[in-house]
Amino acid sequence: MIRPARPTDSAAVNDLLAQLGYPQDDLAATAARIRFWADDPTSAAFVADANGNLLGLVAVHAEPFFQLPGFSGRIVALVVSEHARRQGVAGELMTAAESFAVRHGCVRFEVTSADHRAEAHEFYQRRGYVNQAGRSSRFILSAG
Do residues 45 and 17 lie in contact, with contact meaning Cβ atoms separated by under 8 Å?
Answer: no
Instruction: Specify if 115 maps to a domain.
Output: yes
Bridge partners (DSSP) of residue 80 are 56
CATH assignment at residue 90? 3.40.630.30
In a domain? residue 132: no
Query: Among 25, 21, 27, 34, which residue's Cα sits nearest to residue 113?
Result: 21
The CA distances from residue 25 to 11, 15, 30, 123, in Å, are 9, 10, 9, 29
- Count of domains in the chain? 1
| pLDDT tops 60 at residue 135 | yes
Taking the complete model, does pTM exceed 0.75, yes or no? yes
119: containing domain: 2-126
Report pLDDT for 123.
77
Does residue 142 sit within a domain?
no
What mean pLDDT is predicted for residues 84-96? 90
DSSP 136: B
Nearest by Cα to 110 from 60, 56, 68:
60
Specify the pLDDT at position 88. Answer: 87
Residue 131 maps to a domain:
no
pLDDT of 114 > 80? The answer is no
Q: Is residue 23 part of a domain?
A: yes
138 is a domain residue: no
For the cut 70, the answer to whether the pLDDT of residue 72 exceeds it is yes
